[in-house]
Structure 1
Amino acid sequence: MDKLMLDCIVVDDEPMAANLVVNYIEKTPFLNLRGKFHNAIEALNFVSENPVQLLFLDIQMPDLTGLELSKMLPKNAKIIFTTAFDQYALEGFKVEALDYLLKPFDYAEFLTAANKAKKWFTMLESSSGLNTSTESDFLFIKSEYKHLRIKLSDVLYFEGLKDYIKIWLKNESKPILTLKSLKSLEEELPKNQFMRVHRSYIVALKSIEEVERSQIIINGKRITVSEQYKPDFLNFINDNSLS
């Protein structure tokens, strides 16, 4: 893991600001600079042909903003925003930026953000090496600019709340909150362990304690199985019932 190198680019329409980030990158042993761009369109063209892992990305730029660019990047490219405006912090969270550097920032602040990126890619590399099966026994969940490793065996159920998900875990009184849709999460979960039973709920099948008519009881919580998902749930019950 000590040999991990992250290919990165700098995107900033202010030459002085871009040069400062370049200087910081060159001081950082695990960062490999692949390019410097003064507009987002040039950066997008480069990334489409030359995959990079990390972008140090300004937000306010002409023609195409950093936020707009962030939504067009490949899924495996991560972002550290560099901006003079703090009102974009929530938007940065929504596009799953690893960090948010507020100008002017010094090398210590830059290195803290870069180390977050290193930690993220190290965990990603570790998880791909540890899990040889097609189904993992954990997920990495982003919550408040942190990436938390959650064991699937600890999950009771997922509760959708507009653009957010509450993750309810065993032996925890408060849920973990993450910005993600329930639909996208459903696609990532192993089908033999989790089932969508309602527009707002995905349950861990092993956590079901009782089924009472059209309601599932998990840790004292009653969750209604809606008509749309009832056939699949009844098949699961029948397949796991004593004849």
Structure 2
Amino acid sequence: MLNCLVLDDEPHCVRLLEDYIAETPFLNLVLATTDAVEALTFLKREEVDVLFLDVNMPTLTGFQFLNVASPACHVIITTAYTQHAVESYNYDVSDYLVKPISYERFLKSVTKVLNKVAEAAQGPAEQAASDFIFVKTEHKGKFQKINLEDIRYIEGLLNYVSIYTRQSDKPVITYVGIGEMEAKLPKHLFVRVHRSYIVSISDIEAIDGNEVILKRPPRIPTGEKYKEALLKDFSSAMIVTPKKKKS
């Protein structure tokens, strides 16, 4: 859970970010204010993971606020002006959101921060992705959380993928390419077995010729390009019975 502070001199922008934070399961709002001094005081005494910060404010600009506060948290700039983008990265901000901010863009930004926090909390040898993903579904404006342990397999079709889970025979459809989806998934949990299929390693029961047998149907085809890597991944667990010599 990421603790969030919102500082913006426009009340309607504050309310929008409050709503977005409330809609996002891994975010927790600890303060939303139009008062820079209140935000500064809060930052000095409380733990904050993400600061959503406007740039053009009357008491202190966003950059003046950063100079004074030197916050030890991830900063996401929220502004109606694009011209501050270059200057903002001198402050090592995590992202730069231009108003009006859509929930899709907001979610992409905070998910990036979540991944950074998760990586920082783990040792280099055990860095891993989160145990869930958010995907934009075929229903307009809906983002769905999917636990990685619930995914059985993923089928790619043109410019979208169908994600099959243990909860339902009906897939969750999201408009991303299978290559992009593969990049989001941890390699110790999932394996690409075909140009059109990714499967959960824990669901694999057997490899039969050019097919992968899952714990329950269907069988998934393997492509020659991927089969060699698949067998290599499982080679350490294989026991090969030698052929009997003819007498």
TM-score where L is the length of structure 2:
0.49
Q: Which has the larger radius of gyration?
A: 2
TM-score where L is the length of structure 1:
0.50
